[in-house]
Amino acid sequence: MHIPLVSVVVDDYDDAIEFYVGLLGFELVEDTPAETNDGRPKRWVVVRPAGATTGLLLARADSDRQRAAIGNQTGGRVAFFLHADDFDTMFNRLQSAGVEFCSPPRSEPYGQVAAFIDLVGNKWDLLGPGPELKARLWR
């Protein structure tokens, strides 16, 4: 088994594509017109890091309840984890592009880490190599 997609509720498809593809460097895997269960137009938008098997389904909020969840899908906890082989380059690129970091980079036993906020307010951990990181993530 594997998890092919994780949904991220967003305000706008194009802004989300610009953030994940244009800024983070993900690949746009699919952007297809679709319909909601009750026939309203939507898009099926999937992005993922190059070489990854799990992607993000960028799901535009279409109700008050969904709009309330934008940026707070996990109650303020870190929701997503992005591993970069070259942590320093990725951190500097994101910081230069104006990505909001919650804290400066730090070294942990499992590797380098710096939390950042995505375009809608979800928290991510940017992770870099460390002696225990690979063992933790891919047991």
* CATH number at 71-139: 3.10.180.10
Q: Evaluate if residue 135 carries a pLDDT over 80.
A: no
In order, the DSSP letters of 4-33 are -EEEEEES-HHHHHIIIIIIT--EEEEEEE
Domain-wise residue ranges, the chain: 1-70, 71-139
Give me the CATH code for the 1-70 domain, please.
3.10.180.10
- Digit-coded pLDDT (tens) for 15-51: 999 999 999 999 999 999 998 888 889 999 999 999 9
> How much of the chain, in percent, has pLDDT values that exceed 90?
78
Q: In terms of pTM, does the model score above 0.85?
A: yes
Please determine, for residue 137, whether its predicted confidence score (pLDDT) is greater than 70. Answer: no
